[in-house]
Amino acid sequence: RTALLAQNEREQRNAAERAKYLRRLDWYLIRHLPAGRFDQFAWIMGALVLAIALKGVFEFWQEVLVGSTINRTVFDLRNRFYRLAIHQDVRQVQQTGTADLMARVTNDLEQVGTGMKVLCGKMVVEPLRAAFCLGMAFTISWQLTLVFLLLVVPTAVVMGRISRRMKKASRKVLE
């Protein structure tokens, strides 16, 4: 009897939480939707286009900020190299040739800049994307997300260790 009462109480709490969620959803979203189906569809498509445009704006500013930081860094590296090249022994520069030296440095520093741009771009975007997706998952169902994290994270760690061991074993076999 006590278990039945406790279960009934839990169901009532869950129903009350669902009702509160639906009231909030109605207050923030549903009451602003148009009445007709086509109008609702048009509104949703407009919201989708707006979200995609907003994503594009954020991607643009991310590229601008990362690009300007990387360009300043490559500029500083070039200046540092040129200062060191000026103080280099003249015979050493004559052996390799000034044009060859400058072409190599320019190309190498450009490659460093490209690598930094890829690395920094992913370092900024991917953690934010993961945090947003995790937040949305917790919003939809925190219980399911918690179970997922408790199961997937240890599994990923174990799989990573196994893959490292397999790589080491395959290297040993190939040697």
Find the mean pLDDT for residues 135-164.
92
Which pair of tokens denotes residue 27? Answer: 């207050």
Which pair of tokens denotes residue 174? Answer: 């190939």
List pLDDT tens digits, range 87-124: 877 777 777 777 887 888 888 888 998 888 888 877 77
Contacts of 125 (CB under 8 A, 6+ apart): 62
DSSP state of 31: G
Which pair of tokens denotes residue 168? Answer: 């080491």
Say whether pLDDT at 170 is over 70. yes
pLDDT at 3: 80
List pLDDT tens digits, range 24-70: 777 777 777 788 889 889 988 999 999 999 999 988 988 888 888 88
Say whether pLDDT at 146 is over 70. yes
Among the ranges given (4-13, 18-27, 44-53, 142-151), the one the predictor scored with the smallest mean pLDDT: 18-27
Q: Give Cα separations from 42 to 20, 25, 47 (angstroms).
A: 28, 20, 9
**Separation of alpha carbons 76 and 66, rounded Å:** 15
pLDDT at 23: 81
Judge whether 94 and 102 are in contact, CB under 8 Å.
no
30 HSE (CA, 13 A, CB side) = 7
**Separation of alpha carbons 60 and 12, rounded Å:** 48
Angle 141-19-131 from CA coordinates, rounded to 5°: 25
**Separation of alpha carbons 86 and 32, rounded Å:** 68
Judge whether 66 and 121 are in contact, CB under 8 Å.
yes
**Separation of alpha carbons 73 and 10, rounded Å:** 59
- Report residue 61 CA to chain centroid gap: 15
Find the DSSP H helices in 29-141.
37-86, 90-96, 98-140
- pTM exceeding 0.85: no
pLDDT at 161: 94
Percent of the chain with pLDDT over 70: 99
pLDDT at 37: 86
pLDDT at 5: 80
